[in-house]
Amino acid sequence: MEIGVVGLGRMGANMARRMARGGARVFAYDRDPEARRALAGEANVDCVEGLAALAAQLGGERVILTMLPAGAPTEDALAELLPLLSAGDTLVDGGNAFYKDSMARALEMSQRGLRYIDAGVSGGVHGLANGYCLMLGGTPKSVERFEPFARLLAPAPDTGWLHCGPSGAGHFAKMIHNGIEYGMMQAFAEGFALLAARKDLEFDLGRLAETWRHGSVVRSWLLDLCADILREDEDLERIAPVVADSGEGRWTALESVELGHGADGALLQPGQVRLREETARHDAREIRRTRDDPDMIVVVMGVSGSGKTTIGKLLAERLAVPFLDADEFHPPVNVDKMAAGTPLNDEDRKPWLATLNEMLRQRQNAVLACSALKESYRNMLSKGISDCRFVHLRGSIELIGERLKERQHRYMPASLLESQFATLEQPVNALAVDIALPPELCVEQIAASLH
């Protein structure tokens, strides 16, 4: 029984150790050599020098667990890893990803013949000794493939792990789990602050917290941690009133707003414990989504070489929404055809466009870079989406031809440019942008028009 683990931070490294100590053979990789060296002496763990080596070491239908921060670190690793995988392999994403991204990623993986599990993982630095709580989303077959490893990671083989539901369910459950956790932390913080404020009552906060641990309805592991800290430092002068934010607290509050239920945005209110903005890709974009911000899909369209990816990424950053590159979702048969210099026909594009439409309907807010040359293609992309805006990047064939000479696209040769111009049906209701302008000015023009 063997598994690959990518990402050897505190969680990833200890999960690799726990599985290895349970009898699994683990092939582990982290781009930081120090992280690899820290595992070098662990029995049943082989640290490798790269993702290609990791994929080569694993046999049969491979299982690979990624324990990386959501956003760029995960996406960069997957961009390198996916070409190394084969149909039937299983990828388990143990990072704190936004659940809608996980649903879209599962769809992308299925197009490649791969299995995908979104895994919410809780347990922190104590998981090595005590086991991890695992919340798994995916198909029954995918979870069945991962089950032997889940049983090793969990506190006991039959407890502490659950197949929560289809793709997205695992990361959604973890999102709500962390929202609850932050709410509990806030409650403890405010409670102890009120106790500390009554100097006249002479509370010993450490002893009171220890007393609550036994028989009280508020007893919990979080209270255990509070009691340990208060026993050493009742004034909490060394403890910053901040908890690192990987996104879930904000996403939980925003989900309650979208569903019209429950939390009513309370997690976004300032208090004794504040969420610190870190590197999670969705923090900025999600916190800006409120009741007054309408859902909108923006499709940046045009022929190859018009700057769709560059301008699309800048626009997504400006709007604080996710960016998708349609080229990344072509099935292998389409990629091979284009790489050979053969234009795609309508039948080639239909399943690709259907996949993109499904992803956009799941996300509700995104910028998509896509050629969208025909009106029928644009209709397929926008089907079922209440507000889908098209931005047409326009330029002469001479200008775009010169740009294509300066770049090397992995499967779109410059020879196909004329066929793209011949196929292009000018959109009637799109915002037209002159690509002779610098990309930053194009984005300012687009953003002003959208608002």
Structure tokens given for 54 = 């990791």
**Those residues with Cβ within 8 angstroms of residue 278's Cβ, 6 or more apart along the chain or in another chain:** 244, 245, 246
- 71 — alpha (psi -120 to 50), left (phi > 0) or beta? left
Q: Which long-range contacts (CB under 8 A, 24 or more apart) does 233-239 make?
A: 234/204, 234/205, 234/206
Round to whole Å and give the CA distance between 315 and 318: 5
Three-state DSSP state, 406: coil
E strand intervals along 222-333:
242-245, 274-277, 297-301, 323-325
174 is a catalytic site residue: yes
**Residue of 71, 36, 38, 61 lying closest to 51 (CA atoms):** 36
Does the annotation count 374 as an active-site position? no
Residue 163, helix vs strand vs coil: strand
Residues 202-206: contacts with CB within 8 Å, 24+ apart? 204/234, 205/230, 205/234, 206/230, 206/231, 206/232, 206/234
Could you tell me the CA-to-CA distances from 413 to 40, 301, 355 in Å, in that order? Answer: 45, 18, 24
- Of the residues 42, 108, 144, 181, only one is catalytic, namely 181
Listed residue (324, 308, 318) closest to 359, CA to CA: 324
The kind and range of the H/E element at 38 are helix 33-38
**Residue tagged active-site, from 34, 75, 147, 174:** 174
Provide the annotated active-site residues: 174, 181
